[in-house]
A = this chain, B = another copy of it.
Amino acid sequence: MSDALYIRIAKKLRKKILSGKLMPDDLLPSENELALTYKTSRVTVRKALDILEHEGLVKARQGKGYYVQPPQHSVFTLVFGDNDIGGVYRSQEVGVEPPDGEVAAALKLSDGEKAVVYRHVLLRRGKAIAYDEKYIPHDRDVPGVENDAGFADFYELLRDRYAAMSLRTELSILSCAPSAPAAEALCVSADVPLLAVNRLVLTADGRPVAYGRQYLTPDCGPIVARSGQFLFQRK
């Protein structure tokens, strides 16, 4: 191991925790003890412990010490792009419409307000496997209908109006029978169960700015999530 010292210390402690040598709620050696053990400074030991704390393996309590945390078996990371089911998008239509009730509620539109709609069908090997609808509140000041040829994800569509870093999304996943337009676009009968993925895009302060619905056929395969929080690469 030619890692930095604090990486090596973190690895050794992590191994003890993952192997069960240190069990949940156990107390780790104190920072001073670890500094003596590894013949280093307290600062370096703290860097190692910070890593484990970020990974959720350990929690520091002032005046007490570092405790091994019980595992978070209910937290999963799901990678699911607006635009990465895999396949070719074919634009179905773009237009300005009065939205249906679900969309109006999600976007908090009042009566009479309209939305720009982008509808696409996703093809894989020539077969329709998903149907995608995107709704953005219609704003007379903004040229609403753009990019009707290619496929754009939400953040491209909203780029001119919102800083990319300021938006977040809530996904809702449910099972449903296809709606009439979806059944037609996907060429499936009404009894094929589809996976519906609804996407609500919000500003940092919670105002809805866009709403999307995707209907996935069984050909898309399952949506997969892995336990553990997403960790940004720490070399």
Contact = CB atoms under 8 A, between A and B. Distances in A.
Interface stretch (A29-37, A128-136, A225-233): A225-233
Contacts of A153: 73
B224 A163 contact: no
Interface in A182-235: 191, 193-195, 198, 204, 216, 218, 221-232
A165 B231 contact: no
B165 A226 contact: no
A57 interface: yes
Given A18-B204, A20-B166, A223 B73 contact: no
B223 A163 contact: no
A174 to B, nearest CB: 4
A95 interface: no
Interface in A64-91: 68, 70-71, 73-82, 84
A232 B73 contact: no
B198 A222 contact: yes
Interface in A154-179: 154-155, 163-177
Residue of A20, A53, A54, A163 ringed by the most chain B CB atoms within 10 A: A163
Interface of A is mostly: mixed
Residue of A17, A57, A169, A229 ringed by the most chain B CB atoms within 10 A: A169
A77 B74 contact: no
A23 interface: yes
A165 B223 contact: no
A232 B53 contact: yes
B195 A194 contact: no
A82 B153 CA distance: 33
* Complex A-B, nearest 9 residue pairs according to Cβ-Cβ distance, in ascending order: A20-B163, A193-B193, A229-B230, A74-B81, A172-B222, A175-B175, A169-B227, A174-B222, A175-B193
Given A18-B163, A173-B223, 14 more contacts: A18-B204, A23-B164, A24-B165, A70-B164, A76-B169, A168-B228, A170-B226, A171-B225, A171-B227, A174-B218, A174-B222, A175-B175, A175-B193, A176-B218
12 contacts: A17-B165, A20-B164, A20-B165, A71-B155, A71-B167, A172-B222, A174-B195, A174-B218, A175-B194, A175-B195, A195-B195, A225-B225
